């Protein structure tokens, strides 16, 4: 009888510990995105002020900043802040193997991406807008002469744009980096 009582008590404490473990687990998992100060956006922000373009250093064993990045691919980033209006993104395509453009929210999600297959006239171009800015632009649009801009709505006011340029051969890496560095993010003029 005493043995069974002890067993029941042990089971009770064990159960309580398990419940607590599950609680801790879920709280930690859900709170990491809120607390993470070393996420991709923070690491990009370290490079310098917006909206300038910054090349990311060539991926190698000595530089441990962005994990799971491709050493064959040259990259450059620019941050955007839509507080004062839309931001135009321009990335010329070159003779490299492949170039792409991806749009990242403040929280790290990719809200749009394109490759140079979608490029027109030798460049990838888009305008990043907030939902309110998009409504304003659509209201302004001339129906007979529609804007040719590709407008992309960002879920967050801040974020960053990244261009990836693949080098077909190791020797072509500097050329790929030079092409990536031509990425430009410029705030749109207030009204036109």
> Is residue 69 at the binding interface for another protein, with CB under 8 A as the rule?
yes
> Is residue 29 at the binding interface for another protein, with CB under 8 A as the rule?
yes
- Please say which residue, 134 or 136, places its beta carbon nearer to another protein: 134
Contacts of 140 (CB under 8 A, 6+ apart): none
Structure letter (DSSP) for residue 48: -
- Please say which residue, 30 or 139, places its beta carbon nearer to another protein: 30
Lookup: tokens for 105: 């929210």
Give the span between the Cα atoms of 94 and 180, in whole angstroms.
9
H/E run at residue 161: strand 158-166
Give the span between the Cα atoms of 22 and 33, in whole angstroms.
19
Part in contact with another protein (CB under 8 A); list of ranges 84-92, 100-108, 121-129, 134-142: 100-108
- Minimum CB separation of residue 145 from another protein in Å reads 29
Q: Angle CA(35)–CA(37)–CA(41) in degrees, nearest 5?
A: 120
- Minimum CB separation of residue 111 from another protein in Å reads 6
Q: Which residues of this protein are in contact with another protein, per CB under 8 A?
A: 9, 13-14, 16-25, 28-30, 32-33, 36, 38-40, 42-44, 59-62, 64-73, 97-98, 100, 102, 104-105, 107-115, 117, 155, 162, 164, 166-170
């Amino acid at each position: 009888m005493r043995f069974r009582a002890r067993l029941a008590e042990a089971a009770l404490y064990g159960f309580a510990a398990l419940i607590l473990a599950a609680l801790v687990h879920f709280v930690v998992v859900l709170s990491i995105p809120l607390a993470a100060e070393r996420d991709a956006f923070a690491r990009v922000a370290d490079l310098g002020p917006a909206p300038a373009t910054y090349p990311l250093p060539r991926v190698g064993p000595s530089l441990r900043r962005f994990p799971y990045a491709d050493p064959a691919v040259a990259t450059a980033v620019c941050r955007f802040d839509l507080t004062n209006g839309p931001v135009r993104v321009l990335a010329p395509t070159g003779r490299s193997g492949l170039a792409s453009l991806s749009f990242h929210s403040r929280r790290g999600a990719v809200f749009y991406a394109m490759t140079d297959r979608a490029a027109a006239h030798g460049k990838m171009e888009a305008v990043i807008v907030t939902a309110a800015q998009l409504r304003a632009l659509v209201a302004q649009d001339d129906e007979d002469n529609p804007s040719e801009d590709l407008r992309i709505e960002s879920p967050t006011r801040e974020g960053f744009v990244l261009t990836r340029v693949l080098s077909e051969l190791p020797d072509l890496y500097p050329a790929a980096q030079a092409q990536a560095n031509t990425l430009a993010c410029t705030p749109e003029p207030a009204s036109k």
